[in-house]
Structures are given as structure tokens and as C-alpha cells.
């Protein structure tokens, strides 16, 4: 068996189960898979006390003590009755065994270790051949405890999940732990509070962020940049309401697939049932269909920065990265099949420009259909083939760092998912451009072709930032709150040394405000040292201290957060800042 990292992590899950049973013999193991960065195991501790955070070190010590005796994994195939006898006191394992029997699957028991350090588990396999030799005892660490419902259902018993980290070596583990600590420092919820960007209120509800004036500037500036790029590429703004009759989503097909995620609204007057919109594409189709269209009219491009609403589970919400009110820089293109390639190229160029200005690299996942499971997808085979060939042509032409992910396409068309890479090397799916062969037909969208026949247009869904809330969460952590000048809510702070310098400091402040710079004046009674420290703590791109020298020379000394300092005239200061803003320098 190949002793790869996944096998090591799976093996360590078994080792964890043994170590827990030593100190908590009443524990009933349930499942323990390998996951990204490590492993976990879920236990039922209903028969006695459950471990606490302080117990993890001892459990980890038990694992290391047992590891040297685990020289081999042995397994045997058993009948369902034999398996049920082995796990007769474990209803969770029994449930799994019954399902395996129902599906006529082979049932295997894996045993590792010997004597006091022996452990047998119900498992499909995928382990190290010799755990003692293959696993570095310093390459893993237990990380946390959490609650988890059996098989993820709230209707089932709550279990205790123990998480562990595991890598090929201690060096890789230490690198990961350093990254985790850095991620904690960069947590957008922490920085959002420190910089006064957004808040949540129990009275408003979970997953419904409230943006402060400073946070709203961030949202607006990102939205304006996205819209300016789209306007240059021929997109026109539209506006739609936030509610709709449910019939709209029944026609689009979203009701059948996502109806459980909709917030419903009941009219007291007409008794009609409405929904808060979870997406915008069905609305935009109704603008297209409102008048006859010719092949000469295409492509038609609609854009809108608007908020949608989805009833996400409370346990899945997390700061800005998973919310119930999600604002999108959404857009839809209605075009002829022969225009697909050019439209995808235009959109991808916008994506490159936007993420270049934000200082973020990305990979492109070409999400194509799986020919082996053709029944999962709607639309003509030739149309799928043509569309996927055009998408890959664009990826090659623009020299994207891309890969093809078969089976990742939506049922209604292939797409390009943009996987943005943050400063810690984590990947986040943000922007997307997606073909849709289904909705135009469902809504009866047509255009008159040059030969006078009626044709159905192709629809392209596009978002540059994706969900702005989610992107902000990612970007705050990427920059650690050190936003570029063009995006920073506060671009420069003017700090007079003392009261006698306040008049000139106010003049500097007023002139910068007059030319559109987001400047502030700190002439508070705090000491000069504290006011300077505050400017640095607030991660400002620039601040300027005004003292005797500046008042006499009628200039300013510009200080950057990078530690650079330069003297310049007031007029030059304004030009310097405006140029940096206009060029979106990082």
C-alpha cells in the first residue's frame, strides 16, 4: 500500500481512537476520516464524562506511547453478523454495518498494534503499512474539540469531535502552526472590529452584517471599481426589486433545487407568496424578454450590484465569509453561440485587471461536465463540446494558470471558477463566469437571426468579486487590514504637534478634502506620541505630522506605514496622493 499523507492521517485517526479509549473506556468510536491538514474522530461519551481541552495533551501522549508498537495493519473480511457481534455495544457502528449489508458491500475489520495497544475498527482501509516506521511521532498534534451531530443531521445525537493535525514531518507541522497563528492575527472578524469596519447585532440576526461608515467605503469602492470595469466592456446597469413571486423560481428551476434556502414573504392583501431573491439571473431574463430582440442587438449585457438573501444554517455562518444577506457584483450576458469566446475573453480580462489592482494572484478552474455521467447535464452534446473548447481556448490565449475539473460543471453549463490565492497561500473561490444553456429556454428567450428564424440566446453569468461580503472577509485577511491607498477608508491623517500648529494643519486637511482625499485631522488632547501610534495602529497608508518646520516652510512631511518619510509642498502632496489613487498603486 502506498504510504501517502492521506494514509498517515487516516492511520492517526485509528490511533486517536485507541488513545481516547485508554482514558475514557466508555467512549464509543463512530467515524474517523482523514481531512485537509489532518484527521478527526467522532465519539459518543454519553456513558460517562467527555474529555475537555486540557485532556488533549494526555490523549496525544497516549498516541505517541502506543505508536512504536503499531508495526503493521491487519484486516479480515467478516460477515454482517460477525461485525455486529464485534460492535454489539456500539449502535453507531451497527448502523453502518446494516447499511453495508443492505448495499451488498464487503465488510472489513482492521486491527493495528498488539496486546494492550491493540485496536480493531470497522473500516474500508487506506492506512500505513507499518505505522511505527512510517509516521514521525513529532509530525502530528491534537488541535481542538468540537460538537458534531452524528452523520451531520440535527435530528441525530450530538457527538464529540476531536481534531488532529498531521503532516509528513515536524517541520511541515511547525510551518502549518505558524500559518495558523498568523491566520488568527489576520482574522477578518478581529481586524474588522479593530478598524471599525462592520458589526453584527443579535437583534438584527445572525449572518446579517451591518457596515460602519468606514466599512461602507470599502464596499462602495470595490463595487465602483467593478462597475467601472464592466461599463468599459459594454455592460449596462439595471435594477430589480428584492422580492419576487415564487413562480419566477419555479420557472427557472431554482425552486426545486434551492427552495429550502429561500426566505418567504406572504402578502396580507393579495395572499400571494413571495420570496426574498436568492439570485438575480431570473429577474434579468425578464428584462431581456420584455421586448423583441434581433441578432444585431446581441450581445446584451446587464450588470447590477445588489443584495440577495439565502437561509443559510446558523452553524455554517462565519463572519463575512458566509452570510445570509450577500451583495454581489452580478451581471448577465445574452449572446449568440458564436459570441461566447469573445465574451469570456472580455470577462477574463476584467478579472485579471481587478485582481491585479488588488495584488492577488489566482488560478482558474475550468469546471467541465463529466462525459461518463451525461445524464447529470442538460443541453445538446455539440453545444457542450463547443462551449468547453472555447473556454479552454480563452484560458490558453490569456495564459491563465488553469486546470480542467471534470464533473464540476453546473447541470446547465460549464464555467470558469477563479480561485484567489491569499497571502497565506489559501485558495478562495471568488469570481466566476458561467455558461447557461437552460434558463434561456425555460423563460422562452429568443432573438431573430439574420435568416429570420427564431433562436435561443446563450446566457453567461458573471461576477468579478463574487459576493462582496465574502470577498471583503478574504481581502481583509490577505492584507491584514493594510489596504492600498485607493481603497483605504481613511487615506491620510493630519497630526499637528501642538495647538499652535492646528491652524496650518487644518488648512492642509481642508485642501486635501477639497480634492476628494479621504483625510482626517487629529488635533485631540492626546500626546503627540499616542496620536502617531494611533495612526500606525489604524494601519493608515499615510499620516503627516505638522510642526514648526512645516508651518514655516508651508509644506508637509509625509510618513508612510512602510516607514518612508518625504517632505513636499502642499500642492505636490495632493498630486502625489491623487496619482497613487488613480493608478491604484499597491
Q: What is the pLDDT of residue 1?
A: 34
Report whether pLDDT(312) > 90. Answer: no
Please indicate, yes or no, whether residues 321 and 465 belong to a single structural domain of this protein.
yes
Q: pLDDT tens-digit profile of 76-101? A: 899 999 999 999 999 999 999 999 99
Please indicate, yes or no, whether residues 451 and 367 belong to a single structural domain of this protein.
yes
Any catalytic annotation for residue 310?
Answer: yes
Cell 448502523 belongs to residue: 95
The residue out of 479, 510, 526 marking a domain boundary is 479
Confidence tier at 38 by pLDDT (50, 70, 90): very high
Q: pLDDT tens-digit profile of 210-222? A: 999 999 999 999 9
User: In total, how many domains does the chain have?
Assistant: 3
Q: pLDDT tens-digit profile of 474-485? A: 999 999 999 999
Q: What are phi and psi of 328, to 5 degrees?
A: -125, 145
Nearest to 244 by CA among 281, 266, 277: 277
| Helix residue ranges per DSSP H, 358-501 | 381-397, 439-442, 468-479
Confidence tier at 115 by pLDDT (50, 70, 90): low
Q: Does some domain include residue 280?
A: no
Cis, peptide link before residue 458, omega less than 30° from 0: no
Please indicate, yes or no, whether residues 101 and 43 belong to a single structural domain of this protein.
yes
Q: Contact at 8 Å (CB) between 377 and 409? A: yes
The residue out of 449, 479, 509 marking a domain boundary is 479
Q: Which of 127, 128, 283, 328 is catalytic?
A: 328
Report whether pLDDT(270) > 80. Answer: no
Chain-centroid distance of CA 130 in Å reads 38
Any catalytic annotation for residue 461?
Answer: yes
Mean pLDDT, range 326-340, rounded to an integer: 94
Q: Which of 7, 293, 461, 470 is catalytic?
A: 461
Please indicate, yes or no, whether residues 331 and 382 belong to a single structural domain of this protein.
yes
Q: Contact at 8 Å (CB) between 489 and 214? A: yes
Q: Tell me the three cell numbers of residue 395.
A: 484560458
Using alpha carbons only, give the angle 344, 349, 350 rounded to the nearest 5 degrees.
100
Q: Contact at 8 Å (CB) between 457 and 445? A: yes
Please indicate, yes or no, whether residues 202 and 346 belong to a single structural domain of this protein.
yes
Nearest to 294 by CA among 446, 455, 445, 448: 448
Question: What is the rounded radius of gyration, in angstroms, for the C-alpha atoms of the chain?
Answer: 29
Any catalytic annotation for residue 415?
Answer: yes
Any catalytic annotation for residue 330?
Answer: yes
Report whether pLDDT(315) > 80. Answer: no
Picking from 51-55, 56-60, 310-314, which range would have the lowest pLDDT averaged per residue?
A: 310-314
Quick one: CA torsion of 130, 132, 134, 139, rounded to 10 degrees? 150
Q: Which of 415, 462, 470, 531 is catalytic?
A: 415
Q: Which of 44, 330, 436, 538 is catalytic?
A: 330
Query: What is the domain-level CATH number for residue 378?
Result: 3.30.930.10
Please indicate, yes or no, whether residues 54 and 170 belong to a single structural domain of this protein.
yes
Share of the chain above pLDDT 70, in %: 99
Report whether pLDDT(330) > 60. Answer: yes
Nearest to 538 by CA among 503, 490, 571: 490
Query: What is the domain-level CATH number for residue 568?
Result: 3.40.50.800
For 268, other C-beta atoms within 10 Å of its C-beta total 6
Q: Does some domain include residue 188?
A: no
The enclosing H or E element of 40 equals strand 38-44
Comparison of pLDDT for 259 and 563, the residue scoring more: 563
Q: Does some domain include residue 187?
A: no
Query: What is the domain-level CATH number for residue 67?
Result: 3.30.980.10
Burial environment of residue 353 by CB neighbours within 10 A (0 to 12, 13 to 18, 19 or more): middle
Q: Which of 332, 365, 390, 478 is catalytic?
A: 332
Q: Does some domain include residue 469?
A: yes
Report whether pLDDT(2) > 50. Answer: no
Mean pLDDT, range 158-163, rounded to an integer: 95
Mean pLDDT, range 514-534, rounded to an integer: 95
Please indicate, yes or no, whether residues 31 and 169 belong to a single structural domain of this protein.
yes
Using alpha carbons only, give the angle 335, 337, 341 rounded to the nearest 5 degrees.
85
Q: Which of 14, 219, 230, 281 is catalytic?
A: 281
Please indicate, yes or no, whether residues 504 and 474 belong to a single structural domain of this protein.
no
Quick one: CA torsion of 181, 186, 189, 194, rounded to 10 degrees? 110
Q: Does some domain include residue 368?
A: yes
Q: pLDDT tens-digit profile of 493-519? A: 999 999 999 999 999 999 999 999 999
Please indicate, yes or no, whether residues 120 and 204 belong to a single structural domain of this protein.
no
Using alpha carbons only, give the angle 415, 416, 418 rounded to the nearest 5 degrees.
145
How far separated are the first and last CA of the chain, in Å rounded?
49
Any catalytic annotation for residue 127?
Answer: no
Mean pLDDT, range 336-362, rounded to an integer: 94
Q: Does some domain include residue 15?
A: yes
Whole-angstrom distance, CA of residue 117 vs CA of residue 132: 12
Q: pLDDT tens-digit profile of 119-138? A: 889 988 888 888 889 999 99
Structural domain harbouring 576: 492-582
Please indicate, yes or no, whether residues 144 and 230 belong to a single structural domain of this protein.
no
The model carries a pTM of 0.84
Q: Which of 7, 188, 310, 531 is catalytic?
A: 310
Give me the helix-helix angle, 56-66 and 5-23, nearest 10°. 110
Please indicate, yes or no, whether residues 430 and 544 belong to a single structural domain of this protein.
no
Whole-angstrom distance, CA of residue 355 vs CA of residue 371: 33
The residue out of 151, 178, 205 marking a domain boundary is 178
The per-residue pLDDT of the chain, averaged, comes to 92
Whole-angstrom distance, CA of residue 261 vs CA of residue 324: 10
Mean pLDDT, range 276-284, rounded to an integer: 93
Q: Does some domain include residue 455?
A: yes
Report whether pLDDT(3) > 60. Answer: no
Mean pLDDT, range 37-45, rounded to an integer: 95
Burial environment of residue 70 by CB neighbours within 10 A (0 to 12, 13 to 18, 19 or more): buried
For 158, other C-beta atoms within 10 Å of its C-beta total 13
Q: Does some domain include residue 526?
A: yes
Please indicate, yes or no, whether residues 198 and 103 belong to a single structural domain of this protein.
no
Q: pLDDT tens-digit profile of 423-434? A: 998 999 999 999
Nearest to 197 by CA among 570, 481, 555, 552: 481
Comparison of pLDDT for 261 and 157, the residue scoring more: 157
Q: What is the pLDDT of residue 129?
A: 82
Amino acid at each position: 500500500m502506498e504510504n501517502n499523507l492521506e494514509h498517515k492521517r487516516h492511520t492517526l485517526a485509528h490511533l486517536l481512537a485507541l488513545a481516547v479509549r485508554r482514558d475514557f473506556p466508555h467512549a464509543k468510536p463512530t467515524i474517523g476520516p482523514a481531512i485537509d491538514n489532518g484527521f478527526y474522530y467522532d465519539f459518543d461519551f454519553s456513558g460517562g464524562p467527555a474529555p475537555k481541552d486540557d485532556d488533549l495533551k494526555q490523549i496525544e501522549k497516549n498516541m505517541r506511547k502506543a505508536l512504536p508498537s503499531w508495526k503493521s495493519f491487519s484486516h479480515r473480511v467478516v460477515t454482517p453478523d460477525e461485525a455486529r457481534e464485534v460492535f454489539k455495544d456500539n449502535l453507531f457502528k451497527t448502523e453502518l454495518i446494516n447499511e453495508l449489508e443492505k448495499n451488498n458491500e464487503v465488510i472489513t475489520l482492521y486491527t493495528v498494534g498488539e496486546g494492550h495497544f491493540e485496536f480493531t475498527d470497522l473500516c474500508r482501509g487506506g492506512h500505513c503499512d507499518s505505522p511505527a516506521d512510517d509516521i514521525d511521532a513529532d509530525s502530528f498534534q491534537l488541535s481542538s474539540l468540537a460538537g458534531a451531530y452524528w452523520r451531520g443531521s440535527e435530528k441525530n445525537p450530538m457527538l464529540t469531535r476531536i481534531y488532529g493535525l498531521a503532516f509528513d514531518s515536524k517541520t511541515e507541522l511547525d510551518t502549518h502552526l505558524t500559518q495558523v497563528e498568523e491566520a488568527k492575527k489576520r482574522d477578518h472578524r478581529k481586524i474588522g472590529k479593530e478598524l471599525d469596519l462592520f458589526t453584527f447585532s443579535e437583534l438584527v440576526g445572525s449572518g446579517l452584517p451591518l457596515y460602519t461608515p468606514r466599512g461602507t467605503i470599502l464596499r462602495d469602492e470595490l463595487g465602483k471599481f467593478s462597475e467601472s470595469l464592466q461599463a468599459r466592456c459594454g455592460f449596462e446597469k439595471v435594477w430589480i426589486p428584492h422580492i419576487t413571486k415564487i413562480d419566477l423560481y419555479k420557472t427557472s428551476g431554482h425552486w426545486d433545487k434551492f427552495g429550502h434556502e429561500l426566505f418567504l414573504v406572504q402578502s396580507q392583501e393579495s395572499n400571494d407568496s413571495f420570496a426574498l431573491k436568492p439570485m438575480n439571473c431570473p429577474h434579468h431574463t425578464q428584462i431581456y424578454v420584455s421586448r423583441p430582440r434581433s441578432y444585431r442587438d446581441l450581445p446584451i449585457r446587464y450588470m447590477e450590484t445588489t443584495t440577495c438573501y439565502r437561509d443559510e444554517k446558523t452553524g455554517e455562518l462565519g463572519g463575512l465569509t458566509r452570510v445570509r444577506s450577500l451583495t454581489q457584483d452580478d451581471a448577465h450576458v445574452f449572446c449568440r453561440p458564436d459570441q461566447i469566446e469573445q465574451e469570456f475573453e472580455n470577462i477574463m480580462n476584467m478579472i485579471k485587471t481587478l485582481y491585479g489592482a488588488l495584488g492577488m494572484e489566482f488560478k482558474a478552474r475550468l469546471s467541465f461536465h463529466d462525459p461518463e455521467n451525461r445524464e447529470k447535464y442538460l443541453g445538446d452534446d455539440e453545444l457542450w463540446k463547443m462551449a468547453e473548447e472555447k473556454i479552454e481556448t480563452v484560458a490558453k490565449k490569456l495564459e491563465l494558470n488553469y486546470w480542467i475539473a471534470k464533473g464540476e460543471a453546473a447541470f446547465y453549463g460549464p464555467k470558469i471558477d477563479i480561485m484567489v490565492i491569499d497571502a497565506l497561500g489559501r485558495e478562495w473561490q471568488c469570481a466566476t463566469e458561467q455558461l447557461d444553456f437552460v434558463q434561456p429556454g425555460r423563460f422562452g428567450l429568443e432573438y431573430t437571426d439574420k435568416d429570420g428564424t427564431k433562436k435561443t440566446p446563450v446566457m453567461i453569468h458573471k461576477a468579478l468579486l463574487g459576493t462582496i461580503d465574502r470577498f471583503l472577509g478574504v481581502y481583509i485577511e490577505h492584507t491584514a487590514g493594510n489596504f492600498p491607498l485607493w481603497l483605504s477608508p481613511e487615506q491620510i491623517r493630519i497630526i499637528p504637534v501642538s495647538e499652535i500648529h492646528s491652524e496650518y494643519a487644518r488648512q492642509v486637511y481642508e485642501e486635501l478634502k477639497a480634492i476628494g482625499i479621504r483625510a482626517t485631522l487629529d488635533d485631540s488632547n492626546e500626546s503627540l506620541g499616542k496620536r502617531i501610534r494611533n495612526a500606525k495602529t489604524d494601519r493608515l497608508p499615510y499620516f503627516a505630522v505638522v510642526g514648526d518646520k512645516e508651518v514655516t516652510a508651508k509644506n508637509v512631511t509625509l510618513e508612510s506605514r512602510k516607514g518612508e518619510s518625504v517632505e513636499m509642498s502642499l500642492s505636490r502632496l495632493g498630486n502625489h496622493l491623487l496619482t497613487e489613487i488613480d493608478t491604484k498603486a499597491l
